[in-house]
Amino acid sequence: EAYEDFESRKHTMAPSLSPIKSHHVAVIGAGAAGLVAARELRREGHSVVVFERQKQVGGTWIYTDHVEPDPLSVDPTRPIVHSSVYGSLRTNLPRECMGYRDFPFVIRSGESRDPRRFPSHREVLAYLQDFAKEFGIEEMIRFETAVERVAPATESDGEAGNMKWRVESTEKEKKVRRDEIYDAVVVCNGHYIEPRLAEIPGISSWPGKEMHSHNYRIPEPFKDQVVVLIGNSASAVDISRDIAGSAKEVHVACRSNAADTFIKQSGYSNLWMHSMIERVHEDGSVVFQNGKIISADVIMHCTGYKYHLPFLDTNGIVTVDDNRVGPLYKDVFPPALAPWLSFIGIPWKVVPFPMYEFQSKWLAGVLSGRIMLPSKDDMMKEVKSFYATLEAQGIPKRYTHQMGFTQFEYNNWLASQCGCSGTEEWRKEMYLTTGVRRREYPETYRDEWEDHHLVSQAYQDFSLYTQ
The per-residue DSSP string of 175-210 comes to TEEEEEEESEEEE---SSSEE-----TTGGG--SEE
SS3 assignment, position 397: helix
Query: Which region, judged by CB under 6 A, interacts with ligand FAD, from 12-20, 92-100, 253-261, 362-370?
Result: 92-100
Q: Which is nearer to ligand FAD, 165 or 353 (CB)?
A: 353
Beta bridge partners of 300: 211, 229
Among 25, 51, 137, 329, binds ligand FAD (CB under 6 A): 51
Tell me, by CB under 6 A, how many residues bind ligand FAD. 32
Tell me how far, at minimum, the Cβ of 423 lies from ligand FAD, in Å.
Answer: 14
Among 33, 230, 244, 302, binds ligand FAD (CB under 6 A): 33
Tell me how far, at minimum, the Cβ of 289 lies from ligand FAD, in Å.
Answer: 27
Handedness of CA 357, 359, 362, 367 (dihedral sign): negative
Query: Which region, judged by CB under 6 A, interacts with ligand FAD, from 8-16, 90-98, 285-293, 404-412?
Result: 90-98
Q: Looking only at residues 335 through 364 of this chain, which bind ligand FAD when binding is defined by CB under 6 A?
A: 345, 352-353
- Rounded to 10°, the helix 32-43/121-134 angle is 20
Q: Looking only at residues 10 through 29 of this chain, which bind ligand FAD when binding is defined by CB under 6 A?
A: 28-29
Among 63, 105, 182, 192, binds ligand FAD (CB under 6 A): 192
Q: How many CB atoms lie within 10 A of CB 450?
A: 8
Q: Is 53 in the site for ligand FAD (CB under 6 A)?
A: yes
Q: Which is nearer to ligand FAD, 167 or 373 (CB)?
A: 167
Tell me how far, at minimum, the Cβ of 135 lies from ligand FAD, in Å.
Answer: 15
User: How far is residue 243's CA from residue 302's CA, in Å, rounded to a whole number?
Assistant: 13
Tell me how far, at minimum, the Cβ of 367 lies from ligand FAD, in Å.
Answer: 19
User: How far is residue 355's CA from residue 232's CA, in Å, rounded to a whole number?
Assistant: 24
Q: Is 93 in the site for ligand FAD (CB under 6 A)?
A: yes
Q: How far is CA 85 from CA 24, 36, 61, 107, 214, in A?
A: 33, 21, 7, 21, 8
Among 25, 39, 45, 54, binds ligand FAD (CB under 6 A): 54
Q: Which is nearer to ligand FAD, 168 or 382 (CB)?
A: 168
Tell me how far, at minimum, the Cβ of 259 lies from ligand FAD, in Å.
Answer: 29
Establish how many alpha carbons lie within 13 A of residue 276's alpha carbon, considering only the half-sphere containing its beta carbon: 10
Q: How many CB atoms lie within 10 A of CB 94?
A: 25
Q: How far is CA 162 from CA 59, 159, 337, in A?
A: 31, 9, 9
Q: Could you tell me which residues come within 8 angstroms of residue 368 by beta carbon, excluding any fewer than 6 positions away? A: 16, 19, 20, 21, 22, 23, 44, 45, 46
Among 188, 338, 341, 430, binds ligand FAD (CB under 6 A): 188
Q: Quick one: which of 336, 346, 270, 269 has its CA closest to 306?
A: 346
3-state helix, strand, coil in the chain (%, to 5): 30, 20, 45
Cis peptide preceding 327, ω within 30 of 0: yes
The dihedral over CA atoms of 452, 454, 457, 459, expressed in degrees to the nearest 10, equals: -70
Among 19, 34, 45, 365, binds ligand FAD (CB under 6 A): 34
236-275 footprint of ligand FAD as x/- string (CB under 6 A): ----------------------------------------
Q: Is 59 in the site for ligand FAD (CB under 6 A)?
A: yes
Query: Which region, judged by CB under 6 A, interacts with ligand FAD, from 80-88, 158-166, 202-210, 271-279?
Result: 80-88
Q: Which is nearer to ligand FAD, 191 or 376 (CB)?
A: 191
Among 190, 304, 347, 354, binds ligand FAD (CB under 6 A): 190
137-156 footprint of ligand FAD as x/- string (CB under 6 A): ---------xx---------
Establish how many alpha carbons lie within 13 A of residue 163's alpha carbon, considering only the half-sphere containing its beta carbon: 20
Q: Is 52 in the site for ligand FAD (CB under 6 A)?
A: yes
Q: Is 30 in the site for ligand FAD (CB under 6 A)?
A: yes
Q: Which is nearer to ligand FAD, 4 or 65 (CB)?
A: 65
Tell me which residues touch ligand FAD (CB under 6 A). Answer: 28-34, 51-54, 59-61, 82, 84-85, 91-93, 98, 146-147, 188-190, 192, 235, 311, 345, 352-353
